[in-house]
Structure 1
Amino acid sequence: MAWVVGCAALVITSGAQADQRAKIEAIEGTVISTELSGRIAKLPFRPGDSFKKGAELAELDCTLYHAERDRVSAQLQSARKTLENRRRLAELRSIGKLEVDLAELAVRESSAEQRIASINVKRCSINAPFSGRVVKLHSRQGQSVKAQEKLMEIVGSDLEARVIVPARWLSWIEKDQGVELAVEETGETVSGKVTRIGAAVDPVSHTIPVWASLKESSSLRPGMSGVARFPDRPDSTSTE
């Protein structure tokens, strides 16, 4: 309701207008894919399962990559022995500097190949980059996959609420301000605080997004919706 006197207007906003729609989103989320080709040996988590950061999400059968690493390691040992032998011969002036230089190059080449082989072996095991839950599986245990093929979609356990508020609220809303979110799907009220304020105002709707971190709750899921209330919001604003 508004009363207009002369050129001044006093706008009193009701409590209902102060409540804003909100959507719960995961702060972290990604699609896990493999960097190697191979057969999936382990895929221990199913959709809806939770996991901790560092947990093994998938493992490929990397027998071939292990064998390649062992072959390159043996090759490196041989190159080092050859270099050692040629250095002794060079001290006795039995061979020239060129032979020693070539042996050193062979050692560096084999060492680089060993690092590549070791990296490939590590890629056989895919670990969780953060704590969260499995959203969807794109592959199955025992399935052969190609490099860069999707394995699963995951989301993090840290959640936030995305709230679209009137741009005029920028006059008082600020970071770390308290928020209360009434979640429709569960009926619970979760508290949080403003962590980010949008960088630009929508010129059509004159609104701006605000994100608020939420206290951890086992019942919350990304995609849930609710109503956000800001307890520290002024009861009224006046404009000239």
Structure 2
Amino acid sequence: MVRHLRLPVLLLACGAACLVPAVVRGAHAEEALPALQQSQPDMQATAEGYRARGVLEPEQEATLSSELDGRVTALPFDEGQRFKKGAALVELDCGLYRARLAATQADREVARLQYESDKQLAKLNSIGDLELRQSAARLRKADADVKMADFMAQRCTVSAPYDGRVVKRLVHEQESVPAGRELIAIVGIGTPDIRLIVPSHWLAWLKAGDRFVFTVDETAARYPAHVKMIGARIDAVSQTLPVIAAFDGAAGKGDAAALVPGMSGTGDFGETAPRTESGLSQ
């Protein structure tokens, strides 16, 4: 009886320790491999260093819209063409608004003459103080009407807010557009920034000012760069966050024409990332 009980007791004592190696060595070993790998150090990161994908974004960009109803009369710049700050990017037919401006200027002149006359009459006690103050108020209103009409007339020209290039023309000449219609998309000429997406656990060591090397996919050119700002929010699903970086001064400015917004690449933080005892980045 005792001998018959020994085998079950030994199997219970052995437990999972005896069964797991058999499973791994069996036909299902490949299914257990991913689970085992998850418990091992990230050897790829250890060998290759810390790297993150990024895209070039312009420091300045805008889509300019019409501030009034009108007809497009001129689009002087084609897509990709450079322009200077203050240049007219879009011209709208301004006949109606200039006519309104001229009318308000004439009304202001009438109000001014009336006020000057009323001042003389007040000195002669021919009119009372109330009439004089009313005359002065009419002149101030006329001044305000002129400013408003002039403001609208100036909106007929959409001017460049900074030096830049045209990304896309969103309307055509002779097209009638309502107020608020998008007219033209532009970007600034300055060196673009780098927007990287990095794992959230990099926050343990990454900080503003950290340096890295950015390799542009399109040209294979390598540029020294540094972190400007770290994103304020982690994406809960992907466990990543954005990082804004800038090319180092001389490198970025020297090749500004070769760095086009929309280019992508890889940032290598191997010189900044923490080191293991073996001297490799994790």
- Give the TM-score of the pair, scaled to structure 1: 0.86
CA–CA distance in structure 1, aligned partners of residues 72 and 273 of structure 2: 57
Question: Is residue 166–residue 208 contact of structure 1 (8 Å, CA) maintained in 2?
Answer: yes
Gaps of 5+ in 1: 1-8
Question: Is residue 74–residue 90 contact of structure 2 (8 Å, CA) maintained in 1?
Answer: yes
Map of 1:101 onto structure 2: 133
Q: Which has the higher strand share?
A: 1
Alpha-carbon offset, residue 127 of structure 1? 1.3
Map of 2:121 onto structure 1: 89
CA–CA distance in structure 1, aligned partners of residues 86 and 209 of structure 2: 30
Question: Is residue 49–residue 268 contact of structure 2 (8 Å, CA) maintained in 1?
Answer: no
CA–CA distance in structure 1, aligned partners of residues 231 and 145 of structure 2: 48
Map of 2:232 onto structure 1: 199
Map of 2:263 onto structure 1: 224
CA–CA distance in structure 1, aligned partners of residues 183 and 98 of structure 2: 22
Question: Cα RMSD (Å) of the superposition?
Answer: 2.2
CA–CA distance in structure 1, aligned partners of residues 86 and 246 of structure 2: 23
Q: Check 1:201–1:86 CA distance in 2 against 1; reply closer, same or farther (3 A cut).
A: same
Alpha-carbon offset, residue 17 of structure 1? 4.5
Range 78-87 or range 96-105, more displaced? 96-105
CA–CA distance in structure 1, aligned partners of residues 274 and 118 of structure 2: 87
- Deviant stretches of 4+, over 6 Å: 9-12
Matches within 5 A, 1:207-222: 207-214=240-247, 215-216=252-253, 217-222=256-261
Instruction: Name the amino acid aligned to 1:228.
Output: G
Return the index of the structure with the highest Cα Rg.
Answer: 2
Alpha-carbon offset, residue 11 of structure 1? 6.8
Match of residue 128, structure 1, among 127, 152, 160 = 160
Instruction: Name the amino acid aligned to 1:218.
Output: A
Instruction: Name the amino acid aligned to 1:180.
Output: V
Match of residue 116, structure 1, among 148, 153, 157 = 148
- 2:65 counterpart of 1:26: no
- What is the DSSP-based 3-state SS (H/G/I as helix, E as strand, rest coil) of the residue aligned with 1:100? helix
Alpha-carbon offset, residue 235 of structure 1? 5.2
Cα deviation digits, residues 162-197 of structure 1 (max 9, x gap): 112222322322212223211111221233221110
- What is the DSSP-based 3-state SS (H/G/I as helix, E as strand, rest coil) of the residue aligned with 2:203? helix
CA–CA distance in structure 1, aligned partners of residues 138 and 267 of structure 2: 66
- What is the DSSP-based 3-state SS (H/G/I as helix, E as strand, rest coil) of the residue aligned with 1:236? coil
Map of 2:82 onto structure 1: 50
Cα deviation digits, residues 52-107 of structure 1 (max 9, x gap): 33222112221222222122112111111101111111211212223212211210
CA–CA distance in structure 1, aligned partners of residues 176 and 65 of structure 2: 13
- 2:68 counterpart of 1:36: yes
Question: Is residue 20–residue 229 contact of structure 1 (8 Å, CA) maintained in 2?
Answer: yes
Question: Is residue 179–residue 212 contact of structure 1 (8 Å, CA) maintained in 2?
Answer: no
CA–CA distance in structure 2, aligned partners of residues 15 and 119 of structure 1: 63
- What is the DSSP-based 3-state SS (H/G/I as helix, E as strand, rest coil) of the residue aligned with 2:85? coil
Instruction: Name the amino acid aligned to 1:221.
Output: V
- What is the DSSP-based 3-state SS (H/G/I as helix, E as strand, rest coil) of the residue aligned with 1:228? strand
Q: Percent of aligned pairs with the same residue? A: 37
Match of residue 179, structure 1, among 198, 209, 212 = 212
Gaps of 5+ in 2: 1-39, 278-282
Instruction: Name the amino acid aligned to 2:67.
Output: E
Match of residue 94, structure 2, among 53, 59, 62 = 62
Instruction: Name the amino acid aligned to 1:155.
Output: V
Q: Which has the higher helix share?
A: 2
Range 166-175 or range 86-95, more displaced? 166-175
Task: Kindly indicate whether structure 1 or structure 2 has the higher relative contact order, using CA contacts under 8 Å at least 6 residues apart.
Answer: 1
User: How many residues end up aligned between the 2 structures?
Assistant: 230
